[in-house]
Chain A
Amino acid sequence: MIRYEFIDSSVREEDIHPDSIFDRERFMARNFVRDMEIAGGIQPCPVCGTGRHEILITKWGNRYAICPETWTISLATMPGDKTVFRYYHESRLSRFRASREYQVMMSEKRKDLWEGQIGWIEGRISRYMGNDRYRVIDWGSKSVGWLESLNTAGFVESLLVQEPLPPIGESPGFEGPADIVCLIDVLQRQTNPHGLLEKIAGRVRTGGLLVASCRAGSGFDVLTLREKSESIFPLDHILLPSPRGMERLLESSGFDVLELTTPGLLDIRYIQNAAQSVPTDQYFLRYLLEQGDEFLLDRMQGFLQRNNLSSHMRCVARKK
């Protein structure tokens, strides 16, 4: 297994999630969730099926349970498929995110980030499949700008979109299996991750790659800020696998994991930005935030990255 470190202190939370927009998104998400009816007890871990008893947080009335086996976190009781569909396709939030205003803003804010992400994907493809052009599926696309960037990447021969969110429509694409599937920040919105991965496994050729990213439930800011975290909320975040959970998920869905890393840049910044919410009895954290300088905090982020402890996870897996 490998570990990854990527220091880039030019990335700030407010750059990729401007408060003015993110507050509106959270407001709309909260309103949707408030009206949502979820009945039932704590369900087993959606990744490994282990029974769960421990509730990590309750956010807007929704409980998140922690898996004792893998430390994967997910909603304790999963919403129904119709509810999830409404949230992502029909809700006020989904319409806002599909708006031209939102899409243009995302493209402007995340251009560099996407460029880096495509550079990463290109590097992994080059490493495991060689320098060539491939048939690519972007699964669960949600940004027009991301697709435009991906479409111009040197490794893309043809690009197919599957199960996109508005405003993106399904593309006719190519026939036959894909060489590569990109699954960028999609797993975190799944109630049935095995079902999704089995579908993907059916669309990628043997030896082809799955390149995925996802928020990790075992990440520093998630476990530290818990219900105070502004960046984790239902139903944007239904499932937050840990690296171990992700590995089990992929292995049991027909993939060999080649890489699983957490090169997140923002754990410490999320905590810095929520400093006033850090409980007073968290002395180490308070000491770190109050006494540590920028260099120390950068090194701390580097440590989290290098030891798979950040909350942004990336993985590369090969179809068996």
Chain B
Amino acid sequence: MGDSRLLRTGIIGMGKMGRIRKQELDAHPGFEIIAVCDSNVDATNDFPDLACFTLWEEVLSLDLDALFVCTYNSVAPDIVCAALAKGLHVFCEKPPGQSVEDVQRIIRAEKKAGGKVLKFGFNHRFHHAVMEAKAIVDRGKYGRILWARGIYGKAGGLYFKEDWRSDKTLAGGGILLDQGIHMLDLMTYFLGDFVEIKSFVESCYWKEMDFEDNAFALMKTEEGKVAMIHSSATHWKHKFSLDLFMEDGYLCINGILSSTRSYGEESITFAKKQFEDEALAFGRPREEAIYFDRDDSWRLENEEFHDCIIGKKKLPQGNSEDALKVMRLVHKIYETGQ
């Protein structure tokens, strides 16, 4: 790879996500990390070979090509807009801010930046089970989608209340904005735009917190496809499941690979619809299941970002349009459920 393909890159926010991104970027020959930044100086101590900063504005004064924004929802939109204005390509972790207005502001900055690549971290689309599901749906063998059901739940844990994700100012939303947004992104990815929404947004257990610990939503597209989702911080056993039922078959994703494997094995099970004339036992069709042992989502996401920058290609997914769609959905669920 020639130097022209090597992108001088900075990372803002060296918490969990910043570190994951750094590890993956280090493994990609097209990124050269120049600087890292975190408001907590201790968070940058592990990177003595890099320029380290506590103020993100200082990073933007460097000669960079790309910036990864892995910091609080409250400041991410400001950083993204400033980076775009400086002419950088920007990758921003989800959620893309706290509000629909945040995303709209980012889109205005993107338009002004003219041609810079802006990508948001909806990495679940790059999990192997999800890519397999997309191939099955796109193949059309099972017909059009009728309905979908998704559950994404985790256990809040001992320090849930103290976590920045539970801070009203920094986060701007509860479990739905933090984790459920992935499931909503997948629902729009597979089913399209939702025009009708009914929901419950509840504090079932963590009553003293500012935000919901559970969100339940029923959503319908203009074509009548219905999706139900449950996003939970009181799912004491971690769970990820996404079922898509089509006219002539179905697929179920169970588990999603994470560093601790707490969401279980990642698998997809699929089968053709079989009535009494075909099935060995009616209601128990012959199924195939694929189990995935590797999470390549971060790598693939970075590769797509890099390819679009170098190849001057239109970003196929995780773009600002996707971000706006999903943020509208989050806030519609909040509005109707609270």
Beyond A3-B291, A3-B293, A131-B139, whether A8 also contacts B286 by CB under 8 A is yes
**What separation, in Å, do the CA atoms of A3 and B280 have in the docked complex?**
24
Q: Which residue of A lies closest to B291 (CB)?
A: A3
In the complex formed, the residue of B with least CB distance to A120 is B288
> What chain A residues lie within 8 Å of B131 (beta carbons)?
127
How far, in angstroms, from A126 to B288 measured CA to CA in the complex?
Answer: 16
Q: Are A3 and B287 in contact (CB under 8 A)?
A: no
Distance in angstroms between the alpha carbons of A122 and B141 in the assembled complex: 10
Min Cβ gap A120→B in Å is 8
Q: Which residues from A are CB-within-8-Å of B154? A: none
**Complex formed: what's the CA distance from A8 to B286 in Å?**
6
Shortest Cβ distance from A116 into chain B, in angstroms? Answer: 9
Residues of A within 8 A of B288 (CB): 4-6, 263
Q: Which residues of A contact B132 (CB under 8 A)?
A: 127
Chain A contact patch, size range: 10 to 19
B140 / chain A contacts, CB cutoff of 8 Å: 131
Closest to B268 in A: A2
Q: Does B21 contact A (CB under 8 A)?
A: no
Q: Which of B136, B139, B280, B294 contacts A1 (CB 8 A)?
A: B294
The reply to whether A3 and B290 form a contact with Cβ atoms under 8 Å apart is: yes
**A7-B286, A7-B287, A9-B280 known; A123 and B294 CB under 8 Å?**
no
A32 to B260, CA, bound (A): 56
Q: Does A306 belong to the interface (CB within 8 Å)? A: yes
Interface residue SS majority, chain B: mixed
Bound complex: CA A306 to CA B289 (Å): 9
**B138 contacts the other chain (CB 8 A):** yes
**Are the C-beta atoms of B292 and A2 separated by less than 8 Å?**
yes
- B128 CB within 8 Å of chain A: yes
Residues of chain A contacted by B135 (CB below 8 angstroms): 123, 126-127
Q: Which B residues are in CB contact (< 8 Å) with A263?
A: 288
| A306 and B286 form a contact (CB under 8 A) | no
Is A282 an interface residue when CB atoms closer than 8 A count as contact? no
Query: A10 on the interface (CB 8 Å rule)?
Result: yes
Q: Closest residue of chain A to B289, judged by CB?
A: A5
Which residues A112-133 have CB closer than 8 A to chain B? 122-123, 126-127, 131
Q: How many A-B residue pairs have CB under 8 A?
A: 46
Interface centre among B140, B286, B294 (most CB of A within 10 A): B286
Nearest CB of B to A92, in Å: 38
Q: How far is the CB of A305 from chain B (nearest CB, A)?
A: 9
Main secondary structure of the interface of A (DSSP, over half): mixed
Cα–Cα, bound, A167→B290 (Å): 36
B287 closest partner in A (C-beta): A7
Q: Of A1, A6, A126, A306, which is in contact with the most chain B CB atoms at under 10 Å from its CB? A: A126
Contact mask for chain A residues 1-44; partner B; CB cutoff 8 A; 1 contact, 0 none: 11111111110000000000000000000000000000000000
**Cα-based distance from A131 to B136 in the complex (angstroms):** 10
Docked-complex contact A126 and B291, CB < 8 angstroms: no
CA A306 – CA B135 in complex, angstroms? 22
Kindly list chain B residues whose C-beta atoms are within 8 Å of the C-beta of A261: 290
Complex Cα–Cα for A1 and B294 (A): 6
Bound together, the chains give a CA A289 to CA B139 distance in angstroms of: 41
Q: How far is the CA of A4 from the CA of B135 in the complex (A)?
A: 17
What is the bound-complex CA distance between A4 and B265, given in angstroms?
Answer: 13
Given A10-B280, A10-B286, A127-B132: A5 in contact with B291 (beta carbons within 8 A): yes
Q: Which residues of A contact B292 (CB under 8 A)?
A: 2
A306 touches B291 (CB 8 A): yes
Closest residue of chain B to A259, judged by CB?
A: B290
Interface residues of B in 130-167 (CB under 8 A from A): 131-132, 135-136, 138-140
B45 to chain A: closest CB distance in Å?
Answer: 36
Q: Report the separation of the CA atoms of residues A2 and B291 in the bound assembly, to the nearest whole angstrom.
A: 5
Q: How far is the CA of A185 from the CA of B292 in the complex (A)?
A: 25
B286 surroundings in chain A (CB, below 8 A)? 6-8, 10
Inter-chain contacts of A126 with B (CB < 8 A) = 135-136, 138-139
**Binary contact readout B108-140 vs A (1 if CB under 8 angstroms, 0 otherwise):** 000000000000000000001001100110111
- Identity of the chain B residue whose Cβ is nearest the Cβ of A8 in the assembled complex: B286
Among residues of A, the one whose C-beta sits closest to the C-beta of B135 is A127
Contact call A4/B289, Cβ cutoff below 8 A: yes
* In the complex, chain B residues whose CB is within 8 Å of the CB of A7: 286-287
Interface digits, A123-146 against B, CB 8 Å rule (1 contact, 0 not)?
100110001000000000000000
CA distance A126 to B280 in the complex (A): 28
Q: How far is the CA of A8 from the CA of B279 in the complex (A)?
A: 10
With contacts A9-B280, A10-B280, A127-B131 taken as known, whether A2 is within 8 angstroms of B139 at the C-beta atoms is no
In the complex, the 10 A-B pairs of residues with the closest C-beta atoms, listed nearest first: A127-B135, A5-B289, A3-B291, A126-B139, A6-B288, A8-B286, A126-B135, A1-B293, A2-B292, A2-B290
- In the complex, besides A6-B286, A7-B287, A127-B135, 8 extra interface pairs with C-beta distance below 8 angstroms are A3-B291, A5-B288, A6-B288, A9-B280, A10-B286, A123-B135, A126-B139, A306-B291
Chain A residues engaging chain B, CB cutoff 8 angstroms? 1-10, 122-123, 126-127, 131, 261, 263, 306
A-B contact pairs, 20 of them (CB 8 A): A1-B293, A2-B292, A3-B290, A4-B288, A4-B290, A4-B291, A5-B291, A6-B287, A6-B288, A7-B286, A7-B287, A122-B139, A123-B135, A123-B136, A123-B139, A126-B136, A127-B132, A131-B139, A131-B140, A261-B290
